[in-house]
Amino acid sequence: MKHFPLPGTEVTAPNVVLGLMRINDKSDEEIRTLVNTARDAGIDFFDHADIYGGDHLCERRFAEAMHLNANERSEITIQTKAGIVTDGPYFDYSYEHLIESVEGSLKALRTDYIDILLLHRPDALVEPDEVARAFDDLHASGKVRAFGVSNHTPRQIDLLKRSVTRPLVANQLQLSITHSPIIAQGIAANMSGEEQSNVLDGGGILDYCRLNDITVQAWSPFQGGFFDGVFLGNDNYPELNAVVDRLAAKYGVAPEAIATGWITRHPANMQVVLGTTTPQRVSDSAAGSELPLTRAEWYELFRAAGHRVP
- Rounded to the nearest 5°, which phi and psi values hold at 117? -115, 125
pLDDT of residue 309: 83
Average pLDDT, the chain: 94
- What's the pTM? 0.94
pLDDT of residue 193: 52
pLDDT of residue 188: 64
pLDDT of residue 199: 56
> Which tens digits make up the pLDDT trace of 224-257?
876 678 999 999 999 999 999 999 999 999 999 9
Is pLDDT of 156 > 50?
Answer: yes
Q: Select which of 52, 93, 208, 237 is catalytic.
A: 52
pLDDT of residue 153: 95
> Which tens digits make up the pLDDT trace of 274-298?
999 999 999 999 999 999 999 999 9
pLDDT of residue 197: 47
Q: How crowded is the C-beta side of 184, counted as CA atoms within 13 Å?
A: 21
Is pLDDT of 196 > 50?
Answer: no
Tell me the pLDDT band of 195, cut-offs 50, 70 and 90.
low
d(CA 53, CA 240): 33
Percent of the chain past pLDDT 90, that is, above it, reads 88
279 contact partners, CB below 8 Å, separation of at least 6: 33, 34, 37
> Which tens digits make up the pLDDT trace of 30-83?
999 999 999 999 999 999 999 999 999 999 999 999 999 999 999 999 999 999
Percent of the chain past pLDDT 70, that is, above it, reads 94
Tell me the pLDDT band of 308, cut-offs 50, 70 and 90.
confident
Active site residue 299: no
d(CA 132, CA 164): 4
Tell me the pLDDT band of 307, cut-offs 50, 70 and 90.
confident
CB contact at 8 A, 170 and 148? yes
pLDDT of residue 201: 56
> Which tens digits make up the pLDDT trace of 169-191?
999 999 999 999 999 887 865 55
Single-letter code of the amino acid located at 187: I
